[in-house]
Structure 1
């Protein structure tokens, strides 16, 4: 039986941050709170780090201790409601990293995602055959059933781009991402044509940094910046690394990554030029596929 994992949603992250802020305003340590309420420090740490969802009575106890006004209490309590993780993900928990599950949940709640990719096509735009080739190259021990399940999850993510209030998606790619023959010429031809089609959506913008641009600020690696409703700018940075899934929320890091993304956008070809380059690369892969047939 697959056990449902607790992963932070946007609301749970905001609730944790607000509780940390309220405790700081009240000038109380976690030890002070534990002594006054009977909530042990380990539980309080997990609540304040968004590792667990507090019970309503626990939250009310904290708000009472912090002397939060009634109107503000209602706003904080609203964060306790979980519009949470996508239910379609539950059958796939055994195959996916906790961090990846968390990212998918955040992506589904996001208003906008700015994605820089140095080597791969953005996950949201990957075709089944492209992603299948990636998984096979990375997870050598994965059997076909596991690969199929991972592919279904990857394809399901595309729905955020075509729902009633679609995600605003802007991706900047190094030219290497559209030149590397992942899965072979035919797979790449189909993948690049799919990207051209996706770029026609009004909420999708693609830009390519050409090889001729030389060295640039994105060479250290890929990242995504996520913004959410009512937020003026990005609130979370996501980095998928060999060391694991990394989520960064510090203001100085958000500014730094945001500045990096702006510089990559200014260095890249225009969206129209980029789509033309992608289509050109698709044609070249198509010719190679026909020549190999």
Structure 2
């Protein structure tokens, strides 16, 4: 019998975890000291602070007491706890996706800004359906039989956020290799380049290309996505799809590092208008 699939964390569960970590730090307490004072199991406390477990009400109450939380902080914590299991973004076909990719979809669904850098292919939010299918066929090795179809369905749904109200803000930087590599055939690539040209005209979308002539740059090590959220209490997040599996980075130092790296990539890339000229060239080729 297969193990029960663990539900991915939500933005609100991450907010709750981050608030509890900040309160513990402000109270100058170690996890071990909190365990001694409250009797809460150390492993349980670790899982709560890592957004891997939702605290029971009595556990949350005990933590608020030992941290000396103010009335406003208590109100925020209780609200985050009440909504920590809200998964309104889930769809039936998400069961065919890997746990971490499903988690990423949830985070992206609530993001304010997505900063995506890709060295080898067009970022998912900007892919046409034919291009997406070609990428998945060529790159998604070891996937279960339902995952390719589920990924395409999820991708098409994710793109609806670009036309929502308010729309998702997307800042995308691509290496020239991503638009020069022929994925799915020349017709598919021409359609993809034309789509990039059209969508880059939207006010909340910026597409830039790093030309081959730029030489070595920060992004040669691999792609990543940086997310921030409308509520400043929600910690920023970095997501990377690696050969070893999907990876999330959540510490303030890590997210700050990748946000700075993204700005360096934007500085190396062609300006949006010049990037459009390069894409137009790809359309003609």
Decide whether aligned partners of structure 1 residues 192 and 267 sit closer, same or farther in structure 2, where only a CA change above 3 A counts: same
Q: Distance in 2 between matches of 1:73 and 1:243?
A: 40
1:37 is aligned to 38
Structure 1 SS opposite 2:116 = strand
1:186 is aligned to 187
1:86, CA displacement in angstroms?
5.0
1:24 is aligned to 25
Decide whether aligned partners of structure 1 residues 194 and 214 sit closer, same or farther in structure 2, where only a CA change above 3 A counts: same
Alignment of 1:1-293 (within 5 A): 5-82=6-83, 86-87=87-88, 89-140=90-141, 146-231=147-232, 235-284=236-285
Q: Distance in 2 between matches of 1:239 and 1:46?
A: 22
1:248, CA displacement in angstroms?
1.5
Q: Structure 1: 5+ residue runs without aligned partners? A: 285-293
Decide whether aligned partners of structure 1 residues 126 and 268 sit closer, same or farther in structure 2, where only a CA change above 3 A counts: same
TM-score by length of 1: 0.87
Decide whether aligned partners of structure 1 residues 104 and 279 sit closer, same or farther in structure 2, where only a CA change above 3 A counts: same
1:124, CA displacement in angstroms?
0.7
Decide whether aligned partners of structure 1 residues 262 and 233 sit closer, same or farther in structure 2, where only a CA change above 3 A counts: farther
- Between 1:20-29 and 1:265-274, the stretch displaced more is 20-29
Structure 2 SS opposite 1:80 = helix
Q: Structure 2: 5+ residue runs without aligned partners? A: none
1:215, CA displacement in angstroms?
1.4
Q: Distance in 2 between matches of 1:269 and 1:17?
A: 37
Decide whether aligned partners of structure 1 residues 142 and 17 sit closer, same or farther in structure 2, where only a CA change above 3 A counts: closer
The CA deviation string for residues 100-158 of structure 1, in whole angstroms up to 9 with x for no partner, is 11111111111111111100101111122111112211235658754222211111110
1:35, CA displacement in angstroms?
3.8
The CA deviation string for residues 205-243 of structure 1, in whole angstroms up to 9 with x for no partner, is 000111111111111111111111143998222111112
- Between 1:36-45 and 1:61-70, the stretch displaced more is 36-45
Decide whether aligned partners of structure 1 residues 261 and 277 sit closer, same or farther in structure 2, where only a CA change above 3 A counts: same
Q: Distance in 2 between matches of 1:177 and 1:185?
A: 14
Structure 1 SS opposite 2:178 = helix
1:37, CA displacement in angstroms?
3.0
- Whether the 8 Å CA contact 2:96–2:146 is kept in 1: the answer is no
- Whether the 8 Å CA contact 2:239–2:248 is kept in 1: the answer is yes
Structure 2 SS opposite 1:231 = coil
Q: Distance in 2 between matches of 1:262 and 1:143?
A: 36
1:63, CA displacement in angstroms?
0.5
TM-score by length of 2: 0.90
- Whether the 8 Å CA contact 1:20–1:48 is kept in 2: the answer is yes
